[in-house]
Amino acid sequence: MTTDVSLHDAASQLVSTFAGQLLRVGDSGYDEARRVHNGLVDKRPALIARCRGVADIVDAVNLARDHNLEVSVRGGGHNVAGRAVVDGGLMIDLSLIKGIHVDPKNRTVRVQGGVTWGELNRETQFHGLATTGGIVSTTGVAGLTLGGGLGWLMGKYGLALDNLVSVEIVTADGRVLAASADDNRDLFWAVRGGGGNFGVAASFEYRLHPVGPVVTGGIVAHPFGSAGDVLRLFRDITASLPDELTMATGLLNAPDGSGTKLVAIVLCHCGAPRDGEGAVRPLKTFGSPVIDVIGPMPYCQVNALLDPDYPRGALNYWKSQFLAKLSDGAIDAMIECVARCPSRMRGCGVILEHVHGAAARIGVEETAFPHRRDGFSLLILSQWMDPHDNDRCMAWARESYATMESFLATGRYVNYLDHDETGDSVAAAYGPNYPRLQKLKTRYDPHNFFHLNQNIRPLS
């Protein structure tokens, strides 16, 4: 075990070459740097290495390995389970590494590991280009892509990881490897879904597509009393969607903080505006909405629409799983759950993301991410602000998950697993791909150096 003295000596050695910042308890900026999106996460690393480039990452990895320190890796810091931070070990923080280089001619972009989706979209949209990313602009590209990447463009262009051209990775032994269709192909397969298990991804190269800048998007919301009808409409419409249209629905608290519950549909149509207008008509002509802001809007705006619902520091506890099908019984159960929700906070509730089109046409074994059927990802998103509410808000999510249990499929989305979901939950997230992932983990990280993640155990 590393002592304070040896850690101090090691950190001192690094100081002369490290281009970024090294922060320890008591240093100015330490508390801000250890905080992540989920306010429930309160871990204190012995050392935070705020890297500035690949050489800093390599130095940090070597330091941790040589001094037997536990390591966590922080991209955007959005992981609900707080896997980006470690108690007592070394946190490799990439949030200062924000290089973005768009190649408009070849329609690719290379981004470094600390970039968020809002930052990436701003640069690519400048050229009228985009790739599938998260639906909240403050989420990190790194963790989201390494675990999957559900987003507005997935119907047309697949998940975020389906758009990867190459990844630059620092492995547990301090090597810098390129992973792509040409280089280290098995590693490239593994990082497209395998999360942070195989190394620190220093940078990512994505394919870009012509998108917008104006697309058809927005939110329509109805009173909670119409929830059953709206969810059945959502089910009917999603049964035959064009690839360009990706939709999610939620039974959620209203934006005004009153705790009034609503049923909302959020969407993005990335095709021609006239096609988008036609595709969303059935939604715009249905019932008597209390909110209707669906129409032409910049793609970057669609990607930031939900940002105010999910502020940094809010207390979060999530349960999630794919649905077997959206039956009437499942709809009734969702309504029953949300009616009991104790939090008034906007954005809190039960969400269904519809996966279809290009994201569902890839083979189960083509990438490590295996969930390749048309269907719905169910997310019970408990969110609140007052720590006195911790127990009842977490209990609500657990009880709701139990209520939904008979309607669930076996598959789980690795990026939505919370801190208390390990072992079987991770295996369920990888399904038939888990044995191959374990073999590759054994090859690239035999001692499980990178284990503060949704951990794939190496074979002993």
Ligand X SMILES: Cc1cc2nc3c(=O)[nH]c(=O)nc-3n(C[C@H](O)[C@H](O)[C@H](O)COP(=O)(O)OP(=O)(O)OC[C@H]3O[C@@H](n4cnc5c(N)ncnc54)[C@H](O)[C@@H]3O)c2cc1C
Give the residues lining the site for ligand X (CB under 6 A): 36-37, 72-80, 83-84, 94, 113, 134-136, 139-140, 142-144, 146-151, 195-196, 200-201, 310, 415, 453
Q: Taking the complex as a whole, how short is the minimal distance between the CB of residue 86 and ligand X, in angstroms?
A: 9
Q: Which is nearer to ligand X, 93 or 244 (CB)?
A: 93
Q: How far is the CB of 388 from ligand X (least distance, A)?
A: 22
CB of 255 to ligand X, least distance (A): 15
Tokens of 308: 């105010």
CB of 80 or CB of 120, closer to ligand X: 80
User: Which positions ≥6 away from 106 have C-beta within 8 Å?
Assistant: none
**Distance in Å, CB of 282 to ligand X, minimum:** 24
Q: What is the 3-state secondary structure (H, E, C) of 83-110?
A: CCCCCCCEEEECCCCCCEEEECCCCEEE
Work out the number of other CB atoms within 10 angstroms of the CB of residue 362: 17
Minimum CB separation of residue 54 from ligand X in Å reads: 11
C-alpha dist (Å) from residue 273 to 129, 238, 249: 16, 19, 22
- What's the rounded Cα separation, in Å, for the pair 150 and 135? 8
Nearer to ligand X, 314 or 333 (CB): 314
Kind and range of the H or E run holding 247 = strand 245-253
**Greatest Cα pair distance in the chain:** 68
Shortest Cβ 459–ligand X spacing (Å) = 21
CB-nearer residue toward ligand X: 244 or 309: 309
SS3 state at 65: helix
Tokens of 21: 């910042």
Distance CA 181, CA 262 (A): 45
Q: Between β-strands 129-130 and 291-292, what pairing exists: parallel, antiparallel or unpaired?
A: unpaired
Nearer Cβ to ligand X (47/333): 47
In the complex, the smallest distance separating the C-beta of residue 8 from ligand X, rounded to whole angstroms, is: 25
Element of type H or E holding 321: strand 315-322
Secondary structure element (H or E) that encloses residue 220, with its range: strand 214-223
Q: How many CB atoms lie within 10 A of CB 181?
A: 10
Looking at beta carbons only, is 201 or 219 nearer to ligand X? 201
Comparing CB distances to ligand X, the nearer of 290 and 409 is 409
Which residue's CB atom is positioned nearest to ligand X?
143
Shortest approach of ligand X to residue 134 CB, angstroms?
Answer: 4
Burial of residue 145 (CB within 10 Å: 0-12, 13-18, 19+) is buried
Closer residue to ligand X in complex, CB, 39/276: 39
Cβ 19 to ligand X shortest distance, Å: 17
> 18 vs 369, which CB is nearer to ligand X?
369
Burial of residue 288 (number of CB atoms within 10 Å: 0-12, 13-18, 19+): exposed
Rounded Cα distance, 288 and 258, in Å: 20
